[in-house]
Amino acid sequence: MTVLLETTNLSKHFGGLKAVDDLSLAVQEGELHCLIGPNGAGKSTFFRLILGRYPPTAGTVRFCGEDITQLHAAARIRRGISIKMQVPGVFAELPVRQNLVIALQYRFAEPELTREVDRLLALVDLTAETAKQAGQLAHGQKQWLEIAMAIGARPKLLLLDEPTAGMSPEETYKTGEMIVELNRNAMTVLVVEHDMAFVRQIARQVSVLHLGRLFAQGSIDQITDNEAVQEIYLGKGHHGH
Amino acid sequence: MRAFLSLLNGPQTFGSSRGFWATAIAVFLVALLFPLVGDGYTVGNLAYFGVWVFMALGLSLIWGYGGMLSFGQTAFFGLAGYSYGVIAINLGANYGYPVLALFCALVIAAVLALVLGYFMIYGRITGVFVGIVTLSVTLTFATFLNQTAGPEWRIGRARLNGYNGMTRIPSLSIPWFDGDKITFRGPALYYLVLVLLVLCYLGLRIMVNSRFGNVLVAIRENPERAELLGYDIRRYQLVAFVVGSTLAGLSGVLYTAWGQFIVPAAMALPAAAMPIIWVAVGGRKDLTATLIGTLFVLWLFQTLIVISQQYALIVIGALLLVTILVMPGGYIVWVVENRDAIFNWRRHRAERLAESRAVASDGASE
């Protein structure tokens, strides 16, 4: 297996606060990797560092072997990273179809573009809503639309920041299946998630962040059996969740 | 022809039906024939109205499509107007030099827009601060020109003349056969403005409905998301800013050539607010709505100003306030977006009535 994404001694300090602290983490190609940790563990900051939204205080980010630490966000995305943000980031006043066209237009030319957009609309069950303004969709539909936008450009690495936030249990389960299916089709996925049932449904590999550092790593069973992790995150008595 | 139409139509502009284009062509033909029947004053006046529309279309691009409220349109208007005046006075009115002056003035406006836009956009200045920075530039420029009354403020043969402004600026002209020349005044200027308007309107429609336009409106809606889809949003915003500001420059040159003078007051605060009002009333998010709204407000302003200038400014100011409070998207845009509800209200009411009757009878039968 080859390493797709690798951070080395990555740090981001805000004054005295060490949001991410000397974090070295590798994501292998083809992995479905979950990042968990209590609030304030540094998960969101870590994503922003990977995307180039913040300059790091120290350390490097490598993607496909290339050092991308100095690249701006759009250039990183073009190299094959994609993100679905926590708050649904759709273009509210634009029609659903146009949202997807914007996400895909630099990757595909007509007539392939239309074909791809139609395929994705069917994948996320929005074929009947193409003319609707994206802002008028139900919350779960917005989340799916954004997932479709994120995977549309066929990224090598998909970042998902709490993809099921605000979804019903059925929607959450369906989203989990969608993610597993994407991963089966050779997309590497890195997920930040709070919902442990969801993590259990999808994850093959779990990393625990705590106070900006990598605290533990392993399979979901190893992590839930790890007493130190239960201390800081799951809380005693919630074993197995 | 069909391929050309498909470039003009798209999700970013109203009016893609046959009816719309048939009406547009009819309006164009009427405008073409009008000087044959209209009196000289009206023709000149219509040319004067048309002169301002470029600035409004430019602001629609920057603000309506790009989401940056620029108060800088009159700065580029004035800069290009003064540049045209200085160059045209120095080169003289022969050999088509005024046309060269026009192009130089547009280049000067575009370069300033590029420099200002670069520092603003790459400096991550957003939202209301774009308005503050551009307004500051505009007012600084107007104030500077106001104090150039002394004889030392001259560039070659052109005196800047302070608040009285530059006068005796040559009209636009092109050389013609037998050593003759065509000077763009009266009907000739009217036709020049009309042709330029059609070209700019169609060009902008193609631009906003292209892939570029897709990304531009995406940035307006959600800049972070647009950037995280892999678009260098600063580049797109800069292009929109430069194109829109250069169009304001075109208005400035045409205005200067039309009246053969330019004054600093053309840039000052009341003037700087005008493009905002023109664009807001019709609806900034659509080029056609901007075009119609601008012509309407210009006509209204001119009608009122005959009564009293202060009165006209108050009414136009009130119009801006009411628009922002009642219909921030603009009246024309509102009507088009709600056309189904407005024009079919009888049918909708009948449907609602039938529905409530059905519910009532359901309730009665239970």
Of A85, A94, A153, the CB nearest to B230: A153
- Residue (of B94, B117, B102) closest to B237 by Cα position: B117
CA distance B228 to chain A (A): 6
A98 and B214 within 8 Å at the Cβ level: the answer is yes
**Position A203 pLDDT exceeds 80:** no
Sheet strands (E) in chain B: 154-155, 158-159, 173-175, 181-183
Contact A94 B221 (CB under 8 A): yes
Q: Which helix (H) or strand (E) holds A205?
A: strand A205-210
Token pair for A162: 């709490």
Contact B215 A102 (CB under 8 A): yes
Distance of CA B75 to the CA centre of its chain: 14
According to the model, what pLDDT value does residue A233 have? 66
* Closest Cβ opposite residue A103 in set B224, B227, B229: B229
Show which residues on chain A lie within 8 Å of chain B, measured between beta carbons.
51, 72-75, 77-78, 83, 85, 89-95, 98, 101-103, 105-106, 149, 153
Q: What is the pLDDT of residue B364?
A: 62
Number of domains observed in the structure of chain A: 1
Give the closest residue to B73 by CA, choosing from B58, B88, B51, B61. B58
Cβ-nearest to A102 among B214, B224, B227: B214
8 Å CB contact between B58 and B242 = no
Cβ contacts of residue A166 below 8 Å, gap of 6+? Answer: A139, A140, A143
Give all strands of the β-sheet with A213-218 in edge-to-edge order: A81-84, A157-161, A188-192, A32-36, A205-210, A213-218
Q: What angle do CA A95, B130, B12 make, to 5 degrees?
A: 20
Per the structure, the complete domain to which residue A144 belongs is given by 3-234
Task: Enter the pTM of the model.
Answer: 0.89
Report chain B residues whose CB lies below 8 A from the CB of A77.
227-230
Helix (H) and strand (E) counts in chain A: 9, 10
What 3-state class would DSSP assign to B81?
helix
pLDDT score for B189: 93
Question: Do residues B145 and B267 lie in contact, with contact meaning Cβ atoms separated by under 8 Å?
Answer: yes
10 Å CB burial of residue A39 (0-12, 13-18, 19+) is exposed
CB A83 within 8 A of CB A135: no
DSSP assignment letter at B172: P
pLDDT value at residue B366: 53
Backbone angles phi, psi at B160, to 5 degrees: -75, -35
Per the CB < 8 A criterion, the answer to whether A153 and A145 are in contact is no
Q: Which residues 222-241 of B have a C-beta within 8 angstroms of A?
A: 222, 224-233
Report CB contact under 8 Å: A89, B228: yes
Mean pLDDT score, A33-56: 88
d(CA A168, CA A195): 12
Nearest to A131 by CA among A156, A157, A98: A98
**What confidence category does residue A40 fall into, taking pLDDT thresholds of 50, 70 and 90?**
confident
pLDDT of residue A10: 92
Q: Is the pLDDT of residue A238 over 70?
A: no
CATH, residue A223: 3.40.50.300
Contacts of B11 in chain A (CB under 8 A): 94-95, 98
ipTM exceeding cut-off 0.90 for this assembly: no
Segment A121-156, tens digit of pLDDT: 998 889 999 989 999 998 888 888 999 999 988 899
**pLDDT of residue A99 exceeding 60:** yes
Nearest to A27 by CA among A183, A210, A189, A225: A189
Nearest CA distance, B232 vs chain A (angstrom): 5
* Most A CBs within 10 Å, among B6, B225, B235, B333, to test the A interface: B225
Tell me if A241 is assigned to some domain. no
User: Does residue A239 lie in a domain region?
Assistant: no
Q: Which residues of B touch A106 (CB under 8 A)?
A: 211, 230-231
In this structure, the strands spanning A81-84 and A157-161 are parallel
For residue A239, is pLDDT > 70?
Answer: no
List Cβ neighbours of B50 (8 Å cut-off, separation of 6 or more).
B190, B193, B194, B197
**Can you tell me the distance from the alpha carbon of B93 to that of B85, in angstroms, rounded to the nearest whole number?**
11
| Residues in chain B where the model's pLDDT stays below 50 | none
Exposure string over B323-359, b if 16+ CB within 10 A, otherwise e:
beeebebbbbbbebbeeeeeeeeeeeeeeeeeeeeee
Q: Which residue has the higher pLDDT, B348 or A29?
A: A29
3-state secondary structure of A165: coil
User: Rounded to a whole number, what is the distance in angstroms from the first to the last CA of chain A?
Assistant: 32
